């Protein structure tokens, strides 16, 4: 049976999820049938057709009846409704709402979608702790149950780093560590300085600055890996690139090791337990080489360092848009299959 999806908030992640679906085998089971976004239909069609980061859409896109876009024969109804009351999810028979506005994070927000007729809600970001599950695909998606209704897909950063931390902890035992996210610019930053956000740093030009921003990554990791509770801290820096981010992680370990052993352990994790979500490379690559790539994280083995045989540094690249968008589809596909068994 087809899974009927609505996207609430058709920005970078909403658009990436739709594009990803048309390049994914999940298209056989998942259909995006509705979009709710504050912008107008022409602009929505235009930004689906042309994308500075991911290129032109490979299939024809047309506007139909002044209220839908048609992609390769699929009609997607477009709504322009602000707020969560009165969304047309019953009429559209929505199985899953992808909540991608970045504005709503609570269980009661998700329940509003369900009251409007949706069966389930998947947040495209870390939600409040009282949601049914926070899932990092490849790590804990098998903990999903048919009765779960409100789920978070965690963050792009959590998806990238949790498999790496888990692999290192399993092999060497992590005692403590720091995580530095080096993240591409996002739409919550202005192009040049502007009044914009309650966070003063986010008033500053995304094009001209590296901007430290708040991050809840350490808490996000703890939620997925309780063994890391109290052991990690994190900072984040936005940088003037449009997509692809990196995570610079330094951990102290209980055992003793060297860079070769660390790389062997991570390569093995990417080949076995985390196949498909974690990759490993030692090629001399730069960030744009990871644009439009599928793994949640790719370890750059050429940058692995060990100091005094207990302090380990690992660099992980990730496409913060594309990989995450594909994980939204992976989680939905797995979750929905549980309803059918």
Ligand X SMILES: NC(=O)c1ccc[n+]([C@@H]2O[C@H](COP(=O)([O-])OP(=O)(O)OC[C@H]3O[C@@H](n4cnc5c(N)ncnc54)[C@H](OP(=O)(O)O)[C@@H]3O)[C@@H](O)[C@H]2O)c1
Interface positions with ligand X (CB under 6 A):
8-14, 36-39, 82, 100-103, 124-125, 155-156, 186-187, 320-321, 324
Is residue 123 within 8 Å of 324, Cβ to Cβ?
A: no
- Is the CB of 103 or the CB of 194 nearer to ligand X? 103
Could you give the CA distance from residue 231 to residue 218 in angstroms, rounded to a whole number? 9
Nearest distance in Å: CB 331, ligand X: 13
Nearest-CB residue for ligand X: 11
- CB-count burial class (<10 Å; 0-12, 13-18, 19+) for 160: buried
- Is the CB of 169 or the CB of 321 nearer to ligand X? 321
Nearest distance in Å: CB 102, ligand X: 3
Tokens of 78: 């477009």
Specify whether 156 is catalytic.
yes
Nearest distance in Å: CB 5, ligand X: 15
> 156, 185, 251, 294: which is the annotated catalytic residue?
156
Is residue 59 within 8 Å of 49, Cβ to Cβ?
A: no
- Is the CB of 43 or the CB of 233 nearer to ligand X? 43
- Is the CB of 102 or the CB of 264 nearer to ligand X? 102
Nearest distance in Å: CB 176, ligand X: 27
Nearest distance in Å: CB 212, ligand X: 17
- Is the CB of 7 or the CB of 251 nearer to ligand X? 7
- Kindly list the catalytic residues: 156
């Amino acid at each position: 049976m087809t899974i009927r999806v609505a996207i609430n908030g058709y920005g970078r992640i909403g658009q990436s999820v739709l594009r990803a679906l048309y390049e994914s085998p999940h298209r056989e089971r998942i259909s995006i049938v509705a979009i709710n976004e504050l912008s107008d239909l022409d602009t929505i069609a235009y930004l689906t057709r042309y994308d500075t980061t991911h290129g032109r859409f490979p299939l024809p896109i047309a506007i139909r009846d002044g209220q839908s876009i048609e992609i390769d024969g699929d009609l997607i109804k477009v709504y322009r409704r602000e707020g969560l009351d009165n969304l047309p999810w019953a009429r559209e028979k929505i199985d899953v709402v992808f909540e991608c506005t970045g504005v709503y994070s609570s269980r009661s927000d998700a329940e509003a979608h369900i009251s409007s007729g949706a069966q389930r809600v998947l947040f495209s970001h870390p939600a409040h702790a009282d949601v049914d599950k926070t899932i990092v695909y490849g790590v804990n998606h098998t903990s999903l149950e048919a009765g779960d209704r409100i789920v978070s897909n965690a963050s792009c950063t959590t998806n990238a780093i949790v498999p790496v931390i888990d692999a290192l902890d399993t092999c060497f035992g992590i005692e403590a560590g720091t995580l530095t996210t080096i993240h591409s610019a996002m739409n919550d930053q202005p192009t040049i300085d502007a009044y914009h956000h309650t966070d003063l740093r986010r008033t500053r030009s995304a094009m001209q600055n590296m901007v430290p921003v708040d991050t809840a990554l350490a808490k996000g990791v703890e939620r997925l890996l309780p063994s890391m509770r109290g052991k990690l801290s994190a900072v984040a820096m936005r940088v003037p690139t449009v997509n692809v981010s990196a995570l610079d992680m330094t951990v102290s370990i209980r055992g003793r090791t060297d860079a070769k052993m660390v790389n062997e352990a991570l390569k093995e994790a990417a080949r076995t337990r985390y196949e498909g979500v974690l990759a490993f490379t030692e090629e001399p690559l730069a960030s744009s080489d990871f644009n439009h790539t599928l793994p949640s994280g790719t370890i750059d083995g050429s940058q692995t360092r060990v100091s005094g045989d207990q302090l380990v540094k690992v660099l992980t690249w990730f496409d913060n848009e594309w990989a995450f968008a594909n994980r939204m589809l992976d989680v939905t596909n797995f979750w929905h299959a549980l309803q059918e068994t």
